[in-house]
Amino acid sequence: MEKFKVAIVQEAPVFLNTPESIKKAEPLIEQAAEKGARIIAFPEIWFPGYPVWFDFASKAALWEFAPPKELYRLLVENAITINGIYFKQLQDIAKKYSCFLVMGAHEKYGQTLYNSMIFFDKNGKDFWVHRKLMPTYTEKLIWGLGDGSGIGVLNTEFGVLGGLICWEHWMPLARAAMHSFGELIHVAQWPAADDLHQLASRHYAFEGQCFVLAAGTYLKKTDVIEGASSLKNISQETLDFLDSMDTGSSDVLHNGGSAVIGPDSNYLNEPLFDKSDTIICEIDPEKVIEIRMAIETNGHYSRPDIFKLEVDATPRKGVRFVNENSKDN
């Protein structure tokens, strides 16, 4: 099994502006590909940015307060849709640089926004979409709940590529489901990978006997204001609301923390905090084989005679029409 390189892009998007964020992402992807990276990961909800106002601004959850509603509209307008223009642009980028991309995005499906992880094959055609199963805390004001149809992986020439988003790493059954695919590379997307997120990422690497790319964003308040100001259809009231975010004595909202972790839970690349950069790391697949001698949670270290997990992978829609000719009848 040959060694190969992976990359994590720890940069701020052009906040709230997906077209400009794609323009920013392409040269970052190109640079990583030129350095030999074959799998390139971005942090959670990078397109067009994590809704930081819920964490740092007051009045964000009030019923009749205009700025959060306008910000939601802007997220919808900048959301990625499957086979939409932004989606196809990312497919083209993956093909152009012959790399597998793992992107975090607001995805619009139907009339609902989802926190989605989108895997793009290097061929520019195949893809996999995972929608976050359970938005956490104030995230429920933005995103719907993903269903079991998004629990899966993308098969690559290097091995199985999968991932989970943020606090899904504390859903034991979601982890067990993902371990059943035999991931070689697992992308753990975070807004920022702080100490607790590092713990969850390292635990996943050892439990799943895989390499983990913990991807976090380095985002400053000035990035938010500059990105939002690039939009023509945003009000001054909403810009003032974003400017009211309380970051204390620092301008930093998310401090990065991206890291690459081996299947023994040790760091191959130590967490990168408080700066923008791209991590490039070489992966040796044989290390996974070696550790599976001791533990293989979906094989010899499991007890299927005692424990059983059933995953309902049926796509769930609010309305289903059934007629006498339907197989559902």
Catalytic residue among 108, 132, 221, 287: 132
For the question of residue 210 being annotated catalytic, the response is no
Question: Sign of dihedral through CA atoms 90, 224, 198, 281?
Answer: positive
For the question of residue 99 being annotated catalytic, the response is no
User: How many other β-carbons are positioned within 10 Å of the β-carbon of residue 145?
Assistant: 14
User: How many other β-carbons are positioned within 10 Å of the β-carbon of residue 57?
Assistant: 18
Sort residue 51 into left (φ over 0), alpha (ψ -120 to 50) or beta. Answer: beta
The CA-atom distances, in angstroms, between 292 and each of 3, 156, 210, 295 are: 18, 20, 10, 5
For the question of residue 30 being annotated catalytic, the response is no
Kindly give, in sequence order, each residue whose CB lies less than 8 Å from that of residue 8, ignoring residues fewer than 6 positions away.
40, 41, 42, 213, 214, 215, 258, 259, 260, 278, 279
Cα 300 to Cα 311: distance, rounded to the nearest angstrom: 21
Give the SS3 label for residue 202: helix
Overall size of the chain counted in residues: 329
Cβ proximity of 48 and 17 under 8 Å: yes
- What are the backbone angles phi and psi of residue 184, rounded to the nearest 5°? -95, -45
- What are the backbone angles phi and psi of residue 251, rounded to the nearest 5°? -90, -5
Tokens of 163: 């991932």
Catalytic residue among 99, 166, 210, 281: 166
Which amino acid, 289?
A: I
Give the residue numbers marked as catalytic.
Answer: 44, 132, 166
